[in-house]
Chain A
């Protein structure tokens, strides 16, 4: 075993950054459901792979990569719709709705990939948008997508419809009392979120040169890690409320930081097979800390309301 060399870490850094940017886009999708809607959506593990599978298959059959990404976006939206309908119209709990979609997508993704578990796409033969072969170019493309997405999300969540989604996530009682159809808002947010995750999957597949049916396994955890890292960092840098764009920027940055940390851990010779264990532990710690610090966490208000109702009804 050779010595751990600092230069090796620096060499790996641009690759970590470009990969982190792609996962940052995924994290922006997770942010919509987890933070704005207060909905832990596990379907993204499936949609990440759906995005990758759709893009690879379409490019292999001669499609333009950008058009292929658009189709991936639509496929992601459809998957999100399914989760949304399972939850709102059929009354299945949020986590379970996501798990069902995720499971169903595994079969669907296999079908998209023509029954194979993975499908390669060579940057030598196809004109890909983004590839790990040219990392600096990949960083630029990653940044372009990230910035464009942040601008679009900033606009959308400032519109009447976006505000209605945010109100639904913040206080469902209030939203309904203001005439908002909270079911529709949940479905819209889930669709948008999964569409974005599928785009991220489509970019990742091109970047790594293949789509794999299990490329999304644990994606939700990485997405959450990026969201949490981004928010912790945001609160550490700014003490006061920040514009929505800055908040979104930090989420994307969270993805980059996550991959830099992964790079460091790998550089320290931690077996890459242990990476998911490591990710899960990190996310568990970050999720637990705010709870332990202040047991009144963010779900306090709804709980209190429930108690008041129970008192009234049981009395």
Chain B
């Protein structure tokens, strides 16, 4: 369970560029929640994820995961509890290293890294089995450098690495936004499948309203650093893009400013 209490974050505080990204957000994510997060540009979606992962430091408030306060921990100390997939497919994997080396790095998340060999003897078979699930033929390319893979392949690999050792929380930050529609769908389906099979708790930021409605059991909408809508269960199933847009203008007194979301 993830508890966020009175969380705030302001960029460039005290300068002319001051921008409040997260305003006093309080929310609880239950175990096995698959939450989709939607909102216009600058609504604070990615900032929220970056505050949870530790990529950004919080200004005030607390974040606790399964009862452990994590908001003051450095990024690498939170990593063992989290699985992360980023918007940029280049960001989640090490391009200069082989597929198996990348997976071995993920497999050791949260374990001490000593002078044992980087990839154990029995691990390769384990990685091959996992890669087979992706259905991309990567299981036969364990020693290929990741830099030679396509964006979609890298993103699928990152997803696999994020979920291989069941994380307490999976953070997907617009992870299909940089992919072509066909690949995006494939990666999205894969994410959904993994979250369901392993009963993961997941937060998925997206620009795409349709995806936000289709996937997950709960949807939150952000605007100017606040959560302005939180729907789950049956109510979420009834959502359509039209009534979501209507709700948005009702709650925010504004029109939804993301063309990408409108077009979707």
Q: A interface vs B, CB < 8 Å?
A: 156, 158-164, 166-167, 169-171, 173-182, 241, 301, 304-305, 308, 312-315
A161 touches B114 (CB 8 A): yes
Judge if B86 is at the interface, Cβ distance under 8 Å: yes
A159 touches B84 (CB 8 A): no
B114 touches A301 (CB 8 A): no
B105 touches A163 (CB 8 A): yes
Task: List B77-134 residues whose CB lies under 8 Å from chain A.
Answer: 77, 79-80, 82, 84, 86-88, 90-97, 101, 104-106, 108-110, 113-118
Query: How many contacts A-B (CB < 8 Å)?
Result: 110
Which 3 A-B pairs have CB atoms at the shortest separation, nearest pair first?
A: A179-B79, A315-B41, A170-B94
- Tell which of A161, A163, A181 touches B97, judged by Cβ atoms closer than 8 Å: A163
Closest to A36 in B: B96
B46 touches A312 (CB 8 A): yes
Judge if B246 is at the interface, Cβ distance under 8 Å: no
- Tell which of B75, B82, B96, B113 touches A161, judged by Cβ atoms closer than 8 Å: B113
Write the nearest CB–CB distance from A159 to chain B, whole angstroms.
Answer: 5
Indicate the member of A159, A174, A308 with the most B CB atoms within 10 Å: A174
Write the nearest CB–CB distance from B206 to chain A, whole angstroms.
Answer: 13
A166 touches B95 (CB 8 A): no
B114 touches A167 (CB 8 A): no
Closest to B83 in A: A177
Q: B interface vs A, CB < 8 Å?
A: 11, 19, 21, 41-42, 46-47, 53, 55, 74-77, 79-80, 82, 84, 86-88, 90-97, 101, 104-106, 108-110, 113-118, 145, 161
Closest to A181 in B: B76
Q: In the complex, what residues of A have CB within 8 A of residue B87's CB?
A: 308
7 contacts between A and B (CB under 8 A): A159-B116, A166-B97, A170-B97, A174-B93, A176-B76, A180-B113, A312-B42
Given the contacts A159-B117, A160-B114, A305 and B88 also touching, CB distance less than 8 Å: yes
Q: In the complex, what residues of A have CB within 8 A of residue B115's CB?
A: 156, 159-161
A173 touches B86 (CB 8 A): yes
A174 touches B91 (CB 8 A): yes
Write the nearest CB–CB distance from A290 to chain B, whole angstroms.
Answer: 15
Q: In the complex, what residues of B have CB within 8 A of residue A159's CB?
A: 114-118
B79 touches A177 (CB 8 A): yes
Q: In the complex, what residues of B have CB within 8 A of residue A308's CB?
A: 87-88
